[in-house]
C-alpha cells in the first residue's frame, strides 16, 4: 500500500525520500510548501503537530491500521522497523544506529541549520557573530564524522543504515553551509559512495517542490 509523504525540498524532507527509495516502498509525495506557510494548514498539523515537514501516513501501519508519523528521526526508525531494512536485527548493532541517528537529530541538522540562517542575514555584525559560533561548531561536527568514517565504512559500522540516510540529508547541503568536503576526506569518501547509489539518486531527484 502506498505511503503518503508530506515533505518539501529540504535536508529533513530528503532524508525520507531517499529512505523510501532505498527501501523500495511505494509512496506518493504531497508537497508542503513551507515558504508559503502550508505547514500551518490544520489538515497538516493533524499529522505533524509541530508544523514541520516531513511527515508520513502509512495506510498499513501496525495491526494493519493507518498511522501517521512526524519527526524525521521517528519516521526513519518507523520505516526501518517496518521493513527490517537499514535497521539491524541485532540489539548491539541497533545501538550504533541509534547513536548516530541521535547525533544527527540533535546536532548535525540544528547546527548547520543555524549557519543557513545567519549566512542569509543583511546585518553584518549579527551575521559575523552567528557564523563564528555556528560555523565553528558545524566544522567540529564534520571532524567528529570524519573520525568515525576513518574507522568504519558507514556511521553504524560495516553496514549502511538509516543513520546514513539521516546524515546524508544534511551533508547534501555542505555547499550552503560552506564546508569543503576535501577538508574531511573520510566524509568525502562516504558522501561520494552514498551519492553513487541508484536509490539515493532517485531519492534526491524526486520532485519535492511544485513547478
Ligand X SMILES: N[C@@H](CCC(=O)N[C@@H](CS)C(=O)NCC(=O)O)C(=O)O
Q: Which residues bind ligand X (CB under 6 A)?
A: 10-12, 34, 39, 51-54, 71-73
Provide the minimum distance between the beta carbon of 173 and ligand X in the complex, in angstroms, as a whole number.
10
Provide the minimum distance between the beta carbon of 115 and ligand X in the complex, in angstroms, as a whole number.
14
Separation CA 103–CA 166 (nearest Å): 10
Q: Where are the alpha helices (DSSP H) in 152-197?
A: 162-171, 185-195
Q: Where are the alpha helices (DSSP H) in the chain?
A: 11-23, 42-47, 72-83, 91-106, 110-119, 124-151, 162-171, 185-195, 198-205
Nearer of residues 103 and 157 to ligand X, judged by Cβ: 103
Nearer of residues 10 and 161 to ligand X, judged by Cβ: 10
**What's the DSSP call for residue 2?**
P
Provide the minimum distance between the beta carbon of 30 and ligand X in the complex, in angstroms, as a whole number.
13
Nearer of residues 52 and 174 to ligand X, judged by Cβ: 52
Provide the minimum distance between the beta carbon of 7 and ligand X in the complex, in angstroms, as a whole number.
9
Provide the minimum distance between the beta carbon of 44 and ligand X in the complex, in angstroms, as a whole number.
10
Nearer of residues 72 and 161 to ligand X, judged by Cβ: 72
Longest dimension (CA), the chain: 55
Nearer of residues 49 and 185 to ligand X, judged by Cβ: 49
Contacts of 39 (CB under 8 A, 6+ apart): 32, 45, 48, 51, 52, 53
Provide the minimum distance between the beta carbon of 105 and ligand X in the complex, in angstroms, as a whole number.
6
CA-closest candidate to residue 101, choices 193, 58, 165:
165
Q: Are 208 and 13 in contact (CB under 8 A)?
A: yes
Nearer of residues 108 and 184 to ligand X, judged by Cβ: 108
- Does the bond joining 54 to the residue before it have cis omega, within 30 degrees of 0? yes
Amino acid at each position: 500500500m502506498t505511503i503518503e509523504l508530506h515533505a518539501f525540498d529540504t535536508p529533513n524532507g530528503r532524508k525520507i525520500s531517499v529512505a523510501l527509495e532505498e527501501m523500495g516502498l511505494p509512496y506518493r509525495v504531497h508537497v508542503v510548501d513551507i515558504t508559503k506557510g502550508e505547514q500551518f494548514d490544520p489538515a497538516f498539523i493533524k499529522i505533524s503537530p509541530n508544523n514541520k515537514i516531513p511527515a508520513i501516513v502509512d495506510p498499513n501501519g501496525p495491526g494493519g491500521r493507518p498511522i501517521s508519523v512526524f519527526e524525521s528521526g521517528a519516521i526513519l526508525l518507523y520505516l526501518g522497523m517496518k521493513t527490517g531494512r537499514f535497521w539491524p536485527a541485532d540489539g548491539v548493532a541497533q545501538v550504533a544506529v541509534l547513536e548516530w541517528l541521535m547525533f544527527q537529530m540533535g546536532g548535525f541538522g540544528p547546527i548547520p541549520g543555524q549557519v543557513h540562517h545567519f549566512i542569509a542575514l543583511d546585518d553584518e555584525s549579527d551575521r559575523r557573530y552567528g557564523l563564528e559560533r555556528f560555523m565553528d561548531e558545524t566544522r567540529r561536527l564534520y571532524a567528529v564524522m570524519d573520525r568515525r568514517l576513518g574507522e568504519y565504512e558507514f556511521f553504524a559500522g560495516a553496514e549502511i543504515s538509516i543513520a546514513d540516510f539521516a546524515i546524508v540529508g544534511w551533508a547534501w547541503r555542505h555547499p550552503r553551509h560552506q564546508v569543503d568536503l576535501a577538508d574531511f576526506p573520510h566524509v568525502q569518501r562516504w558522501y561520494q559512495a552514498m551519492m553513487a547509489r541508484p536509490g539515493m539518486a532517485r531519492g534526491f531527484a524526486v520532485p519535492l517542490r511544485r513547478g
